[in-house]
Amino acid sequence: MKVQILSEKFVKPSIPTPPSLRNYKISFADELAPTINVPLILYYTASNNGNTPTASLVTDSNQLEKSLEHILTLFYPLAGRYIKQSRLIDCKDQGVEYVVAKVNVQLHDLLGQGVEAKELNQLIPCEISAADEVSDPLLAIQVNIFECGGLAVGGCFSHRIADGSTVASFFCEWATVNKAKSTDGICPSFDAASFFPGRGLDKLIPMSLPRSLKDAEFKSATKMFAFNKNAISTLRAMYNGSRASSLQLVNAILWKALIGVDRAKHGRSRASFLIQPVNLRGRTNPPLPRQTFGNLWGLATTQVEAVDNMAFQDFVDLLGGSIMKYVKDCGDILSNGEDGYKVVIDPFMESNKVISDSEVNFCFFTSWCKFPFYEADFGLGKPIWASVVNMRLKNIVILTDDKKGEGIEAWVNIW
């Protein structure tokens, strides 16, 4: 696959951000986020019920670019730049990187389980780890036009100010503006720092990566495993229980498999430590608004020392138990002062210590299931697929819904 860049520019909000919003303070939850970009690609067929081919929206009317300008007036921090020393976003409308590219293959050749994840990296406009410098856009968009007229919209969101929920919200709201030509009813909330005031935690968690991960020492593989409705039913039969969610079952079989890979690699069993991000929106007391912008997630942690005699059911129970406990603890985060904040902070600190322990197999499983990626209709119909890319990170698993909403697609990154 060859991707040819047709144009590159910076897109700014259609209405300048007022001076009163110039300095956007990040929360301590934002400070805890890793120095990476969060990637997402949405794919659209060439036409929908006889409507205009998607390519014309880019090459003729530039409608996507214009609607991006309008949505940025509401999501204004994304057009700014991160200032590390001050831990704030300078919202001077420096702009979102906007790239239009031509791809020399048919869209259907790229879809599905057989795709090479590293090929998909060509459909996003920046390196995963090129983040947090003052010159780095907080959002970069690449619109890819295929030979058939199909289109893929790839985005890279700085994790410094965006989590999976924020990414999904932005794409859906941008699509709404592009389709309805109006921003009415769109009202993201930017109050995260008032709930979680910044405290310089980024100094305590130096989790950063080389800006380019293309070097040989960072070779990795990303495989997508599809668990359809029938496969999940099979896992449920293995578990002999009805209470476990589909996500718990898939996480358990993948964790068990990664432990097996680690055992084969090292010639012995090692302790394994797994973290699962938990969306805090709607789980605190009082509840955080679901439209709150930024990073609003905590970590449910699970560690096992003796893994040799563990059955599939044991992994399911452990993972489900850690999630249930953390969700219960979330209720006290906003109402219990400093002890409440520790519910968010302490698992990050623990994870930061474990990740550097050469005797522990560290795994990170993040679920984007139930995020409404497949609702992002730009006027072209709903996406026919949503994907990530090769993250080039060890033992990171990203789980998404399949298009039907009945199965789960697991993007597994290993070295």
Q: Tens digit of pLDDT for each residue in 111-170? A: 866 778 889 999 999 999 899 999 999 999 999 999 988 999 999 999 999 999 999 999
Tell whether the model's pLDDT for residue 50 goes beyond 80: no
Mean pLDDT of 336-364: 92
For residues 331 and 298, is the Cβ–Cβ distance under 8 A?
Answer: no
| Cis peptide bond upstream of 39, omega within 30 | no
pLDDT at 59 (0 to 100):
47
Mean pLDDT of 329-349: 94
Q: Which two tokens stand for residue 408?
A: 């789960």
Mean pLDDT of 391-414: 92
Mean pLDDT of 387-400: 91
Domain 217-370+391-414 has CATH 3.30.559.10: yes
What amino acid occupies position 87? R
Residue 257 backbone phi and psi in degrees, to 5? -65, -40
pLDDT at 219 (0 to 100):
63
- 210-241 pLDDT, tens digit per residue, is 444 554 445 678 899 999 999 999 999 999 87
Which carries the bigger pLDDT value, residue 113 or residue 246?
246
Active site residue 266: no
Nearest Cα to Cα of residue 293 among 157, 191, 155: 191
Query: Model confidence at 308, in pLDDT bands (50, 70, 90)?
Result: confident
pLDDT at 216 (0 to 100):
40
pLDDT at 113 (0 to 100):
65
pLDDT at 58 (0 to 100):
52
Nearest Cα to Cα of residue 129 among 162, 165, 156: 156
Same fold, 3-203 and 217-370+391-414: yes
Which residues, listed in sequence order, are joined to residue 366 by a DSSP beta bridge?
398
Tell whether the model's pLDDT for residue 6 goes beyond 90: yes
Active-site residue identified among 314, 332, 377, 402 = 377
pLDDT at 209 (0 to 100):
46
Domain ranges, ordered by start, for the chain: 3-203, 217-370+391-414
DSSP at 277: E
Mean pLDDT of 205-211: 49
Q: Which two tokens stand for residue 386?
A: 């949503």
For residues 307 and 261, is the Cβ–Cβ distance under 8 A?
Answer: no
For residues 220 and 415, is the Cβ–Cβ distance under 8 A?
Answer: yes
Residue appearing with tokens 């100010």 = 161
- 252-261 pLDDT, tens digit per residue, is 999 999 999 9
The CATH T-level fold of domain 3-203 is Chloramphenicol Acetyltransferase (3.30.559)
Active-site residue identified among 159, 163, 202, 262 = 159
pLDDT at 56 (0 to 100):
56
For residues 386 and 369, is the Cβ–Cβ distance under 8 A?
Answer: no
pLDDT at 210 (0 to 100):
46
Give kind and range of the element (H or E) at residue 230: helix 229-239
pLDDT at 62 (0 to 100):
81
The C-alpha torsion from 30 through 152 and 117 to 156, rounded to 10°, is -20
Q: Please tell me the distance from the alpha carbon of residue 380 to that of residue 263, in angstroms, as a whole number.
A: 47
pLDDT at 188 (0 to 100):
95
Nearest Cα to Cα of residue 407 among 236, 166, 228: 228
Tell whether the model's pLDDT for residue 341 goes beyond 80: yes
Tell whether the model's pLDDT for residue 405 goes beyond 70: yes
| CA angle 246–249–252, rounded 5-degree value | 150
Nearest Cα to Cα of residue 311 among 255, 387, 376: 255
Active site residue 377: yes
